[in-house]
Amino acid sequence: MDGTQLSQWMMNPNKHKDLIGAAIIAIAHGIADRMRYSHKEARDDVVGEIVLQLFRTIPKYKPENGPAFNYFTTVAINAAKMWYRTRKKALKFGTPTEFSRDIDETCKRYR
């Protein structure tokens, strides 16, 4: 899959639902794979958050915003950053989180 294919699919999202879904999951896993974790569950959390955010932004995509791949990759990176900041803030203020140990080891690329 390349950015041009995704842009073409986004022109008619109802016709290409399965392909768009597969592309979104691939983008989410690609971004999550660039992050570091000490627990598999933390990676799964990030993938879930990214996929959820990407599906929320499908209706907001417009071809004049640029290639679909670039648009959705940016959304995915921002979702990963938001996940990291939420976990970091919870750790800072003493709010227990299930994966608080991952904060220092996760998202080193995005600091």
Q: What is the pLDDT of residues 50-61, one digit of tens each?
A: 999 998 988 888
Provide the b/e sequence for 32-67 (b: ≥16 CB within 10 Å).
beebebeeeebbebbbebbbebbeebbeebeeeeee
Q: Going from the N-terminus, what domains does the chain have, and what CATH number goes with each?
A: 3-110 (1.10.1740)
The percent of residues above 90 in pLDDT, for the chain, comes to: 15
Q: Are 47 and 36 in contact (CB under 8 A)?
A: no
Q: Are 24 and 55 in contact (CB under 8 A)?
A: yes
Most confident of 4-13, 60-69, 74-83, 93-102: 74-83
Q: How many helices (H) and strands (E) does the chain have?
A: 4, 0
Say if pTM beats, i.e. exceeds, 0.85.
no
C-alpha distances (whole Å) from 22 to each of 80, 88, 106 are 19, 30, 25
